Structure 1
Amino acid sequence: DKLAYNGYFYNFTKVEIGKKYWRCNKRGCTSILKTNMTNELVELPVHKHVRDEAKYYRTLLKDKIKQRALHSDESNRNVVLNVLKDNLDLKIPLDLKDCNDFVSKERKINNFTISKDYDIPPELQVAVENKQFLFYDSGIKDKDRVIIFTTEENLRYIEHSSILICDGTFKTCPTCFDQLFTVQCKLNDMFFTFDVLLYEEQAGGLL
């Protein structure tokens, strides 16, 4: 475990008599910070070196970016821009491309892979606003398994749209499926994806 506090970084060392001990991660520094078991400060150490404020606040910003990336459906770019906008007081220069790559990496690491061997758990059947998003799943016993992600609201948009764009691809499909199929419709002069289908077998009649 690691801890960042007041411009310094610490590594967890031990638990003793209801306290956690954290050693400064600066090579040669023996300063120990102590917290209770819920990580509330108990004793603040004195360091013999100056703190690296730029590194400290850059680390805090990246953690905020990571948390927002994992708990929102915003694009990678908007995740970064919104975090920076909310923390203008820090004034820490960050490379946007590096941040976008960082968001992509974190989302990939924490991405859930749909397995052919078990059902999709309830917490992954809903969208960010807790709306039902898993619309249909033919089930793990179906060798030609089909999964449809959409919402009732999205279906209403599709129903009343005069223009639909349907497209399928094999290249960007999750590895445990063979085909990704999307349905887009026009809304306010722009096209949005309102329906996502995954197939275990290539459905030749769809393309």
Structure 2
Amino acid sequence: MFYKLLTDTLKLIQSTKKKKDGSVSWFLVDDEGHEYKVAYESSISGTITWRCNNSEFPNCPGKVVTKGHSRPITVKKLHEHNASIKTKVKELYANIRIMSANNPDTQPRKIILECTKGLSEEIVAHLPTYSSTRQVCSRARINPYEDFEIPSDFSFILPEQFKNLENGEKFLFFDEISGEDRILIFTTEKNLSLLTEYRNLLCDGTFGSFAF
């Protein structure tokens, strides 16, 4: 479940369940903190009718309409209850998930502290345990290398993504097999130019894997 704040400030939370056609489905959170699920989408006008998604009030008549995923939010029927704290917690968890997915190298503790900063005592009292929240971070992390095959020998083909930096700059400067060994050297033109400026060089290596 992820949280999406559009440029026009319409707040949407991605549902863990997809539509019948496999596309993403969303929950809407209005300015009062009420949560809605899609009741009807018009393919002609592009409008979406949302109805109350509070499980404690299954018959609540609350209903709003939007033009696609854009404002304004037009109220059609009022709710018979106040906004639920559970929706605030759901928003928080969605924020934690998307922040974890976008920052896989950031420690869960830092993400949790950032997302819970400034919360009211009432919301904090409804939050799950810290260990449960850490699990949310871990499950949301996207492994950028999960689609790559782990090499089983030295004859592997290095994917193009690892040969250059994101800006297109060359990163793989040497790749050669010598006997039973294969040597790959990664660097940049800037790093090489820095090496030429100094007479003394200090080197280190993981000798259990290779000798420098």
TM-score, normalized by length of structure 2?
A: 0.54
The equivalent residue for 1:21 is 49
The equivalent residue for 1:63 is 94
Number of residue equivalences? 156
Asked if structure 2 preserves the Cα contact closer than 8 Å seen for 1:31 and 1:46, the reply is yes
The equivalent residue for 1:105 is 139
> Residue 84 of structure 1: which of 100, 116, 121 is its match?
116
Inter-partner Cα distance in structure 1 for 2:148 and 2:68: 37
The equivalent residue for 2:34 is 8
- Which deviations, in whole Å up to 9, do the C-alpha atoms of 1:57-95 show, x marking residues without a partner? 21121122222212223111111112223xx14442233
Inter-partner Cα distance in structure 1 for 2:184 and 2:139: 25
| Percent of aligned pairs with the same amino acid | 23
SS of residue paired to 1:79: helix
- Which deviations, in whole Å up to 9, do the C-alpha atoms of 1:99-158 show, x marking residues without a partner? 111000011xx3331324994659x964xxxx779944999xxxx9998888888997xx
Q: 74-83 vs 111-120, which deviates more?
A: 111-120
The equivalent residue for 2:62 is 31
Asked if structure 2 preserves the Cα contact closer than 8 Å seen for 1:57 and 1:90, the reply is no
1:55 Cα deviation from its structure 2 partner: 1.0
TM-score, normalized by length of structure 1?
A: 0.55
Matches for 1:1-207 after TM superposition, within 5 Å: 1=25, 2-5=27-30, 6-16=32-42, 17-26=45-54, 27-44=58-75, 45-52=77-84, 54-72=85-103, 73-85=105-117, 88-91=118-121, 92-93=123-124, 94=127, 95-107=129-141, 110-112=142-144, 113-116=146-149, 119=159, 126=166, 135-136=171-172, 164=204, 166=206
The equivalent residue for 1:200 is none
Inter-partner Cα distance in structure 2 for 1:101 and 1:90: 23
Alpha carbons of 1:46 and 1:104: their partners in 2 closer, same or farther (altered >3 Å)?
Answer: same
Inter-partner Cα distance in structure 2 for 1:66 and 1:138: 39
Structure with larger Rg: 2
SS of residue paired to 2:49: strand
Question: For structure 2, which runs of at least 5 residues remain unmatched after alignment?
Answer: 1-24, 150-156, 176-180
Question: For structure 1, which runs of at least 5 residues remain unmatched after alignment?
Answer: 169-203
Asked if structure 2 preserves the Cα contact closer than 8 Å seen for 1:138 and 1:145, the reply is no
Q: 146-155 vs 58-67, which deviates more?
A: 146-155
User: What is the root-mean-square deviation of aligned Cα atoms in Å?
Assistant: 4.2
In terms of fraction of residues, the more helix-rich structure is 1
- Which deviations, in whole Å up to 9, do the C-alpha atoms of 1:174-196 show, x marking residues without a partner? xxxxxxxxxxxxxxxxxxxxxxx
Inter-partner Cα distance in structure 1 for 2:66 and 2:86: 23
1:15 Cα deviation from its structure 2 partner: 2.0
SS of residue paired to 2:95: helix
The equivalent residue for 1:187 is none
